[in-house]
Structure 1
């Protein structure tokens, strides 16, 4: 092509720019005109709104791509500098109007010390791990709705060059909560109202006050103050006072009034939960029915009984579900000694265990449960008070017998016992037509025995094992209605005494602990 001819830079007339003329060079070279335009790839045949939506999607996709590229770049920069040493100037917690600085210091200082060796400055990687540890340390106390932990340039004028601060920016949670509801346990239903005040003194303390009315415990009141020990969520101290009136007329022709207080130390670790409790309680057997037995009347005649006791309890639960676990085991044990003052003198020990195992792959699983207990008087002339004796029987224990109806009796009154054991085997299956429902078919067999102490150890143990235990079996439907388990069963007592209050037929059980 002859450049003197004054033609376009295009060789073909059809490719001539609309801005060009035979006399004027094209002001937009091909390389500029072929750059991507916002409308590149725009679909045709769409309405205006559909085109706008498509363009918005394209912008969002481009922004997402830019964000991902920036994130990868930042990640590469951080990764390349993980071993870089950074002087740590301070750890600052922002927006803590209700939480004491001394509490936060005792909680976070050990983390800071562990990440700041005396010989050299911590690395960037170590400081990033510290930010995660700080957040994990604060979360279990439930004091904050939001916790953001980040690294910032040190604010102090005395800080070394390049030093950083660990900044904890929090938003504190509300302090007061009120809730009401219903709960079920040990074949009893109740309605309650509870008020909690968190962070009472700025150190994650919780003040709780509750009041309830129920089918057995006609009225109850409790106030407790719980505080963590050594700034640890795994260790606490609980001080509580309580008062309640319990209706025991269904099995022992009296009401029981309790007033007292207790101090409990609690600790959780890898092996389970431990607690040590000192309790001082006054018990009164009152409102005796006209047909109350002589034994109940004799127990009530001395008036209020004061129990001053020390108890240790341990619990470990590895089940995959609280009520209908298909694997794992539950183990609970407690030992109590009464006689640290007061009028009750005894030793009591109880144990409970449950094993669960899946059977095949069709949703079948089985559980085996066992309970045992013993209460021994410390002095022969001071028998164990009626309120401290062991009880057995009912829809949450040995099914097929009335609530607390097993063991020694005087007329129509169950007196409880001193030695007890019970075992249960259960088989669970999903509903054939609705296996995903929280209902399970249930087949079970229970056995147990509750006896009194004899004059000698041999006379005490022999009745427990020399004669056949009370036995029952049945089928039913189980519903996991967390936080309680509900059973509707048809039970048939197989071995037992009429005096123990046999309960043949349909029964409903609601509670948290089932045999």
Structure 2
């Protein structure tokens, strides 16, 4: 008979609750393998150590074991597979110490007459150790082209359902301040489906465009794992109040035109397929590929707000190993993006406003198109990088170990070449730095402007640079010191010849 679960070391069986200690595991791995096709079921399930965890959460994890045991065709292999799934879910909840999870199997006493003598009845005992409810940490972090110092506080398992409240404060080289609070929880006890509510407030410098940007708002996010390992999906609703302020005396007319307040209400979806082999150095995948697709719909229809557009980005990275035992790694990357202005109405036929500088793409810098300044590619108004609505960028590189250090060293020599093109929308064949020619034009004019901008991506040579440098693959981030030589620089863009230092997670 399959029985239900009771946390904290109690067993619920035939209406009797008794406190028990976990017993040694007499059903060994070899026994399971030798009898994988033998009929089996679960007689009882115990969980020891989950003193602060709700019964309802644990029922979602262990009920599949109980349900499968009611099937007369269930085998010992089926039971152990379900136990493995439940053990993995316990670990992924994030409230138990991963190394503490232990599973014990034992033959159940046959106290009930009429049971099939050929059917194995198992008592299953899980041992876990809960992590601390509170955690506080501080340190430094590295994002793309920025270093930050942070303080992070966590409150885990708040209501016993694996809820987590995260409070974060940080300052950085470009981020003056950033504060956010996130409350997350698994859905129906499934650690692979998470819902999160976030509130944020930040202030960041944008020196390449002569302004600061303040953000205040919140988001509601649903994230779930895909069918195949390494696949993740997320769906987000966000409402953000943006303030474009702190203009310098040299701010261009484009930046001054977009300065002030705006509200962006948006729906977003992202998909990541990660097939990288990170069995070696974590931040240097040895082989495989990674695909990332993000799309955002802002302002259209019921979303309202001050901006309306759809914005999509596509990124593909591929890594190939060199000759065996050589330590050489070949990699390539491709990034594409399109911002499409939309009307605010429920129809797609109304007039669309041009995109704003804080919504457009920026391209160039040590983590994407090396050999160019941050925001160095694409439309400029004076010295300000005002961004573009369509872009394409690609790069190839070869990493190989230094002769003295060998293939296991995280320090590598790099040869690279990369290029990119960033353009603004056009109307009637006339380029514009800030898409201002689209003001007052309907869907037809916008569509033609997008067509013209996309055709510009393959018109003439893209901005291109090549070079060499040193790469240090730290588990937290990747550090690069490169010497770059710009080979093609389009008019108005800002290249950077010589040494360039980059720190980040994702590199082109």
Distance across 2 between alignment mates of 1:268 and 1:400: 37
Residue 264 of structure 2 aligns with which residue? Answer: 307
Q: Is the 8 A contact 2:42 2:66 kept in 1?
A: no
TM-score, normalised with respect to structure 1:
0.79
Q: For 1:420-439, what aligned pairs fall within 5 Å after superposition?
A: 420-435=391-406, 436-439=408-411
Residue 142 of structure 1 aligns with which residue? Answer: 94
Change (3 A) 1:468 1:158: same
Deviation at 1:185, TM superposition (A): 1.6
Other structure's SS at 2:502 match: strand
Instruction: Name the stretch that deviates more: 137-146 or 471-480.
Output: 137-146
Residue 184 of structure 1 aligns with which residue? Answer: 142
Change (3 A) 1:373 1:154: same
Q: Could you give the per-residue CA deviations for residues 257-307 of structure 1, whole angstroms, max 9, x where no partner exists?
A: 00111111111124411111111001101111111111111111xx31000
Change (3 A) 1:443 1:155: same
Deviation at 1:476, TM superposition (A): 0.4
The aligned length equals 441
Q: Is the 8 A contact 2:42 2:69 kept in 1?
A: no
Greater Cα radius of gyration, structure 1 or 2: 1
- 2:374 paired with 1:403: yes
Change (3 A) 1:512 1:124: closer
Residue 372 of structure 1 aligns with which residue? Answer: 336
Q: For 1:44-83, what aligned pairs fall within 5 Å after superposition?
A: none
Deviation at 1:140, TM superposition (A): 1.8
- 2:374 paired with 1:415: no
Q: Could you give the per-residue CA deviations for residues 394-428 of structure 1, whole angstroms, max 9, x where no partner exists?
A: 01111111111211111111100011111101111
Deviation at 1:76, TM superposition (A): 8.9
Deviation at 1:115, TM superposition (A): 2.4
Distance across 2 between alignment mates of 1:389 and 1:437: 39
Change (3 A) 1:114 1:499: same
Residue 348 of structure 1 aligns with which residue? Answer: 311
Deviation at 1:144, TM superposition (A): 2.4
Distance across 2 between alignment mates of 1:74 and 1:346: 60
C-alpha RMSD of matched pairs (Å): 2.9
Residue 334 of structure 1 aligns with which residue? Answer: 294
Task: Pick the aligned partner of 2:234 from 275, 282, 306.
Answer: 275
Distance across 2 between alignment mates of 1:387 and 1:199: 37
Other structure's SS at 2:160 match: coil
Q: Could you give the per-residue CA deviations for residues 469-496 of structure 1, whole angstroms, max 9, x where no partner exists?
A: 1111101011101221110000011110
Instruction: Name the stretch that deviates more: 236-245 or 266-275.
Output: 266-275
- 2:202 paired with 1:266: no
Distance across 2 between alignment mates of 1:74 and 1:476: 53
Q: Is the 8 A contact 1:241 1:262 kept in 2?
A: yes
Residue 18 of structure 1 aligns with which residue? Answer: none
Other structure's SS at 1:444 match: strand
Q: Is the 8 A contact 2:402 2:413 kept in 1?
A: yes
Change (3 A) 1:155 1:385: farther
Q: Could you give the per-residue CA deviations for residues 145-189 of structure 1, whole angstroms, max 9, x where no partner exists?
A: 333333468799989889764333433221111111111122111
Residue 477 of structure 2 aligns with which residue? Answer: 484
Residue 173 of structure 1 aligns with which residue? Answer: 131
Task: Pick the aligned partner of 1:99 from 53, 56, 66.
Answer: 53
Q: Unaligned stretches of 5+ in structure 2?
A: 1-23, 344-350, 428-447
Change (3 A) 1:86 1:449: closer
Distance across 1 between alignment mates of 2:76 and 2:316: 48
Other structure's SS at 1:388 match: coil
Q: Is the 8 A contact 1:131 1:150 kept in 2?
A: no
Q: For 1:212-223, what aligned pairs fall within 5 Å after superposition?
A: 212-223=170-181
Change (3 A) 1:124 1:376: closer
Other structure's SS at 1:460 match: helix
Q: Is the 8 A contact 1:405 1:501 kept in 2?
A: yes
Q: Is the 8 A contact 1:111 1:133 kept in 2?
A: no
Distance across 1 between alignment mates of 2:102 and 2:455: 65
Q: Is the 8 A contact 1:186 1:513 kept in 2?
A: yes
Change (3 A) 1:174 1:496: same
Q: Could you give the per-residue CA deviations for residues 118-162 of structure 1, whole angstroms, max 9, x where no partner exists?
A: x58x66676556554443332221322333333468799989889
Q: Which has the higher contact order (CA 8 A, sep 6+)?
A: 2
Residue 56 of structure 1 aligns with which residue? Answer: none
Distance across 1 between alignment mates of 2:298 and 2:134: 37
Instruction: Name the stretch that deviates more: 371-380 or 85-94.
Output: 85-94
Distance across 2 between alignment mates of 1:468 and 1:86: 68
Q: Is the 8 A contact 1:326 1:358 kept in 2?
A: yes
Q: Unaligned stretches of 5+ in structure 1?
A: 1-69
Distance across 2 between alignment mates of 1:246 and 1:222: 14
**Larger helix proportion of the pair:** 1
TM-score, normalised with respect to structure 2:
0.80
Deviation at 1:497, TM superposition (A): 3.7
